[in-house]
Amino acid sequence: MALWPQSSVAKKFLNAITGIGLFIFVVVHLFENLLLLTGNPDDFNRWAHFLESFGVVLRIIEIGLAAFFIAHIWSALLVYWDKWKARPHGYRVYRTAGWTSRQTLSSQTMIYTGIVLLAFVIWHVITFRFGPYYPIMVDGVEMRDLHRLVVEVFNEPINVVLYVAVMVFLGFHLRHGFWSALQSLGAYHPRWTPVWYSGGVLVAAALAAGFIVIPIWVYLYL
Ligand code: HEM
């Protein structure tokens, strides 16, 4: 038995399901990070400490998240490889199939924005998840001062610039990914597809904007 999906439908399905899982993580993660902007550092640290209190359950969720990332990348590469093989020999020039194909800058660059996001996530997790442990007392309990680490990182202008740039890539990736995942799961409907398509644009722009505000805000005010 093969270790990965063989049919193109199965590959796209796996890519869509894992993409939706990662999308949900990104939405939750944005709301967690907005706690950085409350004006009270304890809010963010208390939340991170609350999550940490789940111990082994949190570790299992983290492993599940990593598995989603790997399965998403793997299935994307399989889909991309199939498309590449199916091209007529020597045919590398992009030609649009018209409006109905919904080909955009976002859809054409999924593999590149994906590679940027992969590099970002590795750098990001090393910086924060495995970054320095600064202890702090909150409500008489010792916990990790993650707020201090975030402020330290975003007080470096180069980090702010890189984060803002990557969040633009994230917006483009989500813009096409949102709509494409629904299509792969068979959600095509002549009436509703344009609504999901526009919804994807709005959701992607809102998420990217939310993540862009955080480093800029921290740099300017914290
Ligand atoms: C302004 C933007 C962001 C900030 C301030 C931020 C902050 C953080 C912090 C502080 C942690 C460590 C949490 C802990 O150890 O308890 C973390 C973990 C993480 N972040 Fe972000 N993040 C941002 C954007 C993103 C984006 C856009 C993604 C994905 C595309 C992402 C993916 C992750 C992942 C996968 C982890 C590891 C989760 C875990 O191991 O529990 N982050 N982030």
Ligand 1 near 189 CB (within 6 A): no
pLDDT for 155 equals: 98
Distance CA 179, CA 102 (A): 10
Which residues in the chain belong to E strands, given as ranges?
Answer: 135-138, 141-144
Ligand 1 near 129 CB (within 6 A): yes
Mean pLDDT split into 10-residue runs, the chain, 222 residues: 74 95 98 97 98 98 98 93 75 49 72 96 98 97 98 98 98 92 83 84 97 98 96
Which helix (H) or strand (E) segment is 88 a member of? none
Distance CA 198, CA 204 (A): 10
- The three-point CA angle 13-17-19 to 5° equals 115
pLDDT for 90 equals: 53
pLDDT for 92 equals: 52
Q: What spacing in Å lies between the alpha carbon of 66 and ligand 1's midpoint? A: 13
User: 93 lies in a domain?
Assistant: no
CA trace torsion 64, 70, 71, 77 (10° rounding): 170
Distance CA 172, CA 133 (A): 34
Q: Provide CB contacts within 8 A for 162, sequence distance 6+.
A: none
Give the domain extent around 156: 8-85+103-221
User: 167 lies in a domain?
Assistant: yes
pLDDT for 192 equals: 79
User: 152 lies in a domain?
Assistant: yes
Ligand 1 near 169 CB (within 6 A): no
We report the CATH number of the domain holding residue 207 as 1.20.1300.10
pLDDT for 97 equals: 47
CA-proximal residue: ligand 1, atom 32 (nearest): 121
Distance CA 77, CA 74 (A): 5
The token pair that represents 137 in the structure block: 């007392």
Query: Which of ligand 1's atoms lies nearest the C-alpha of 166?
Result: 27
User: 96 lies in a domain?
Assistant: no
CA-proximal residue: ligand 1, atom 4 (nearest): 33
Ligand 1 near 117 CB (within 6 A): yes
User: 2 lies in a domain?
Assistant: no
Q: What spacing in Å lies between the alpha carbon of 177 and ligand 1's midpoint? A: 20
Q: What spacing in Å lies between the alpha carbon of 150 and ligand 1's midpoint? A: 10
User: 125 lies in a domain?
Assistant: yes
The token pair that represents 82 in the structure block: 């199939």
pLDDT for 63 equals: 98
- The CB density around residue 116, as the number of other CB atoms within 10 Å, is 17
pLDDT for 98 equals: 46
Q: What spacing in Å lies between the alpha carbon of 5 and ligand 1's midpoint? A: 30
Task: Identify any residues that bridge with 138 across adjacent strands, giving them in sequence order.
Answer: 141
User: 155 lies in a domain?
Assistant: yes
Q: What spacing in Å lies between the alpha carbon of 109 and ligand 1's midpoint? A: 24
Distance CA 208, CA 206 (A): 6
Task: Domain count for the chain, please give it.
Answer: 1
Ligand 1 near 26 CB (within 6 A): yes
pLDDT for 143 equals: 98
Query: Rounded to an integer, what is the distance from CA 94 to the centroid of its chain?
Result: 27
Total residues belonging to the chain: 222
Q: Would you call 80 helix, strand, or coil by DSSP?
A: helix
User: 92 lies in a domain?
Assistant: no
CA-proximal residue: ligand 1, atom 39 (nearest): 62
Q: What spacing in Å lies between the alpha carbon of 19 and ligand 1's midpoint? A: 17
Structural contact between residues 184 and 16, judged by C-beta atoms closer than 8 angstroms: yes
Q: What spacing in Å lies between the alpha carbon of 139 and ligand 1's midpoint? A: 25
